[in-house]
């Protein structure tokens, strides 16, 4: 992981929005015990995958992240948490912390893919304090 694992904040997935000026999708994370939000610009496919799962919509055939979730279940892989732990040149980085047969693994991921997996696996989402300090915003109202 890029960031210090001990210095992470639990986040709540607010949802997927369209950023007005760019018309590009963002995933919006809110600090669980705080006032900061972290907007992460993501691709349309990942935005759709996250939004559909959050809405409980099932597609006729599994999407990529559904397939990954099915593999986890069949093989006994547990996703313990994801951490958005890096920000380099305006690109966010994430790590998925997995366990399989008693062994722990850290898998590098794009945050959008990690979040799409997290909503399917009911995995908590964390962000490093370093990333929050660099990229978080305070939103007065989401209305």
pLDDT digits (tens, 9 = 90+) for 35-65: 999 999 999 999 999 999 999 999 999 999 9
Q: What is the three-class DSSP state of 130?
A: helix
Q: What is the three-class DSSP state of 78?
A: strand
104-109 long-range Cβ contacts below 8 angstroms, 24+ apart: 104/80, 106/1, 109/82
Give the pLDDT of residue 69: 97
What are the φ/ψ torsions at residue 23 (nearest 5 degrees)? Answer: 60, 30
Summarised one tens digit per residue, pLDDT across range 97-121 is 999 999 999 999 999 999 999 999 9
Neighbours of 57 (CB within 10 A): 9
Percent of the chain with pLDDT over 90: 90
The model's pTM: 0.91
Residue 8 and residue 114: Cα distance in Å, rounded? 16
Give the pLDDT of residue 143: 57
Band (pLDDT 50/70/90 cuts) for residue 140 is confident
Residue-averaged pLDDT of the chain: 94
Summarised one tens digit per residue, pLDDT across range 72-81 is 999 999 999 9
Sheet holding 103-109, edge to edge: 103-109, 91-100, 78-88, 125-128, 8-19, 24-31, 36-41, 137-138
Band (pLDDT 50/70/90 cuts) for residue 139 is confident
Residue 53 and residue 59: Cα distance in Å, rounded? 9
Q: What is the DSSP letter of 97?
A: E
Give the pLDDT of residue 28: 97
Find where tokens 């949802």 sit: 15
Ordered structural domains, the chain, with CATH: 8-138 (3.10.690.10)
- Which runs of E-coded beta strand occur in the chain? 8-19, 24-31, 36-41, 78-88, 91-100, 103-109, 125-128, 137-138
């Amino acid at each position: 992981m890029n960031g210090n694992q001990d210095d992470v904040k639990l986040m709540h997935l607010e949802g997927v929005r369209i950023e007005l000026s760019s018309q590009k999708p963002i995933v919006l994370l809110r600090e669980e015990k705080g006032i900061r939000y972290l907007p992460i610009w993501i691709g349309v496919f990942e935005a759709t995958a996250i939004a559909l799962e959050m809405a409980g919509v099932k597609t006729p055939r599994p999407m990529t992240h559904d397939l990954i979730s099915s593999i986890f279940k069949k093989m006994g892989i547990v996703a313990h948490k994801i951490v958005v732990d890096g920000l380099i040149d305006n690109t966010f980085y994430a790590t998925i912390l997995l366990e399989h047969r008693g062994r722990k693994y850290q898998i590098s991921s794009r945050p959008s893919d990690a979040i799409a997996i997290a909503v399917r696996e009911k995995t908590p989402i964390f962000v490093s304090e370093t990333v929050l300090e660099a990229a978080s915003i305070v939103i007065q109202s989401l209305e």
